[in-house]
Structure 1
Amino acid sequence: MPTGSTQESDMGIGIGMALGLLAVAASAYTFVAAGQFQTALGFAAAVTLSVLCVAAFHVWG
């Protein structure tokens, strides 16, 4: 009676956490940026990294 085994990985948690921390750093940059263009870049980075963070949890979770 063979039994199947599955291997689970915590890669999704690690990648999700790393992207989450980068998203927090990008949002912090939004508040300390000197000009409007730099603020927009920080916001765009925060939104993009947040989307990737959620996607990582869904793909590897």
Structure 2
Amino acid sequence: MTTGSTQETDMGIGLGLALGLLAVAAAAYTFVAPGQFQTALGFAGAVTLSALCVAALHVWG
């Protein structure tokens, strides 16, 4: 019988959710950006944050 304890956290879910919300905000910025360069920055941010969201869910999930 082992008496060791394991500690589980929901950091992966929380981090994934936070990055997902930021990705949605960046995608929304893409639609309201005034110029082509700002639209490209919003799209790049959305893609980057989406990839980080998936990575966080895989690493800590």
Q: Tell me the TM-score normalized by structure 2.
A: 0.94
The answer to which of 2-11 and 21-30 deviates more is 2-11
Distance 2:9 2:25 in 1: 26
The answer to which of 3-12 and 48-57 deviates more is 3-12
Matched, 1:5 2:8: no
Aligned alpha-carbon RMSD (Å): 0.9
Where in structure 2 are there 5+ consecutive unaligned residues?
A: none
Where in structure 1 are there 5+ consecutive unaligned residues?
A: none
Letter in 1 for 2:34: A
Aligned residues: 61
Q: Tell me the TM-score normalized by structure 1.
A: 0.94
The answer to which of 1-10 and 36-45 deviates more is 1-10
Deviation at 1:6, TM superposition (A): 1.6
Letter in 1 for 2:57: F
Which residue pairs with 1:32 in the alignment? Answer: 32
Query: Aligned residues: percent identity?
Result: 85
Moved over 4 A (4+): none
